[in-house]
Amino acid sequence: MAFKCGAVDNPNARRVNQVVMPTMGGLAIFLAFNLTNIFLLYKQYNPEQFWALLLAQIIIIATGIIDDIFELTPKRKILGILLGALVIFFVAKIKMTTLTLPFIGMVKLGWMSFPITIIWILAITNAVNLIDGLDGLATGVSIIAISTSAITGFFFLNTTSIYISIMMFNLVFALLGFLPYNFNPAKIYLGDTGSLFIGFMISVFSLYGLKNATFISIIIPVIILGVPITDTFFAILRRFLNNVPISQADKHHLHHQLMQMGLSHRQTVLVIYGIALIFSMISLLYPISSLLGSLLLTIATLFGLEIFVEQIGLMGPNRTPLLDFIKKVVLFTEENDVINKKNKK
């Protein structure tokens, strides 16, 4: 179908594929996921919310299919995601309503609920879309992230019903069924049809746990999605520092940098799977940590992440502020030791 309607990825300077590849693989995931939901969950799920969620998914899938065939501009792609997000907010009524902050207490978001929810959906959807650069990368990372979210929500946060967890695992197994055809060497790509759909569903699933958001319930999905969020954040920062448009594509994403270090296609994907698993393991520590423990865990994670990012050059060449600072501290300490030894002599 992809070949017949022109939903293909042609080799170019930014692509890793050497031959024309069919995209639009996300349509298979969408169908498997929703057919299972209709047979398993429809009677137990809120019917109005169920159909509203399906309508939003169709809008995202349609946006992805059109993009895979005709290649939409970034603004038009965001417009499609925005339409899906509006359905989620106004029709499905899945949104953030309150925020509980340490030392402050519960804050009702009021009118702020709308922009916060919409920005959350747009940010997470685009983050997953950006990491879809290697065979099986976005699929595997999403499997890890959604599985962790389902486990965390069901066993620790008590903010999601059993049916939401089952729905999450439905998507996990739809992705697992697709992965053998998508892993290197891939026979078909997710395309924007798949990456937009997966990112959108991850953002919506996380909103079920963020209806009455707390510091912990916000930080957990951010840590779980550490790989796409990190890649997106530093892509924006890198382009800002280089004075180029944020929407301008480049070849300095996480997977590009790892491959430039000498890793093969498969090795790069497996390394990023490993990083995603590390983020997932860290996220599982939050529900069993105190507030102080959560703060220290966050600081330690950010510290380690910054060192890793600077080591692989994700911000660009010669942009290593933390490593430079550490080197200066070490050098200063060594010079002091030498002076002290001379004084003792």
How far does Cα 159 stand from its chain's mean position? 21
Q: CA angle 140-45-107, nearest 5°?
A: 80
The two beta strands, 8-9 and 105-108, are: unpaired
C-beta separation of 218 from 210 below 8 A: yes
Alpha carbon distance 291, 213 (integer Å) = 15
User: Per the annotation, does 340 bind a ligand?
Assistant: no
- Name the nearest CA neighbour of 121 among 59, 167, 62, 67: 59
User: Per the annotation, does 129 bind a ligand?
Assistant: yes
In the chain, the DSSP E strands lie at: 8-9, 21-22, 98-101, 105-108, 212-214
How far does Cα 74 stand from its chain's mean position? 18
Rg value, the chain, Cα:
22
Sequence-distant (6+) residues with CB within 8 A of 225 are 124, 127, 128, 145, 202, 279
The two structure tokens encoding residue 107: 């804050």
Distance between first and last Cα of the chain: 82
C-beta separation of 252 from 238 below 8 A: yes
Binding-site residue positions:
129, 192
Binding-site residue positions for Mg(2+):
129, 192
